[in-house]
Amino acid sequence: MEFERSDIMKKLNAKEALDLLLKDVIVTRSDLEKSENRWVKHCIYVAIAAGRIADKLGLDVDYAISLGYVHDIGRKISHPNHTIAGYKYMIESGYPDEARSCLTHSFIDNNIYYTAGGIPHGQDRFDYMNNFLQSTTLTPYDNIVQMCDLFCLETGFTTVERRLLDITRRKGVYSNSEMHFSKTMELKKRLEKQMGCSLYDLFPEITQESLDMADMEREELINILKENRTEEKGPILGKKY
Ligand SMILES: [Fe+2]
């Protein structure tokens, strides 16, 4: 699926996306090893993963790689508010279409409730993001980057099960955590059906130990989510979902 795009609008390619990602952050190779730049390596792995999935789906590989590179680009400006910061940065850089991945990558199927670590804080921020997500038509590229964000670390690829368990242990359980987990696994199944293979078949770098542990870690995650069920809605009071 291609977006509507005016002829004068630039389409981001992978080389430009990588240049944008590294600009002002990675000047020498040693900058890539700095702990504050771990997110850059994560973006590189998301880009690689997005390209492989797009290839399997017969989509535009270069475009998927580009979106992977820039999805967390807002971390140049602000870690806590990297989604909106990245969106604005991409628009200012002349790529309004690709700016979408900065805002859509954390929300499965572009639904603001299907996100890890609790829904966005602050009513204004919530409204801004929710309005964007609701007025943006979901594309396969959004889904690909959303999936990749949930198994790509700064050190490489892992299982979705291990990644979600780790996020839950670090960030805790929120009212939307069970929903996010089930929507993530739904997306994984949907992509696997479209690809005709397991997601992990595309990533032989994932260790056998990780694959062997996936079922057990999924069960552990389900138990943590059940045991810590909460009705606390955070800043979004009275919203049922
Ligand atoms: Fe990310």
Calpha distance 3→201 (Å, rounded) = 29
Low-confidence ranges of the chain (pLDDT < 50): 1, 7, 233-241
Question: How far apart are the CA of 42 and the centre of ligand 1, in A?
Answer: 7
Each domain of the chain, given as residue ranges in start order, spans: 14-227
CA–centroid distance, residue 80 to ligand 1 (Å) = 12
Distance from the CA of 10 to the center of ligand 1, in angstroms? 24
Phi/psi class of residue 43: alpha, beta or left (left: φ > 0; alpha: ψ in -120 to 50)?
A: alpha
| Residue 131: predicted pLDDT | 96
Task: Provide the CA 216 distance to its chain's centre, in angstroms.
Answer: 24
Each residue's pLDDT tens digit, 12-53:
999 999 999 999 999 999 999 999 999 999 999 999 999 999
93 burial type by CB count under 10 A (0-12 exposed, 13-18 middle, 19+ buried): middle
Q: Which residues contact 105 (CB under 8 A, 6 or more apart)?
A: 71, 72, 83, 142, 145, 146, 149
What spacing in Å lies between the alpha carbon of 167 and ligand 1's midpoint? Answer: 12
Residues with CB under 5 A from ligand 1 (ion): 72, 149
CA of 119 to the centre of ligand 1 (A): 16
Encoded tokens for 222: 């389900």
* Residue 43 CA, ligand 1 centroid: distance in Å: 6
* Separation of CA 208 and ligand 1 centre (Å): 24
Between the CA of 215 and the centroid of ligand 1 the distance, in Å, is 24
Architecture in CATH of 14-227: Orthogonal Bundle (1.10)
Residue 159 CA to ligand 1 centre (angstroms): 15
> Ligand 1 centroid vs 229 CA: distance in angstroms?
26
pLDDT at 57: 98
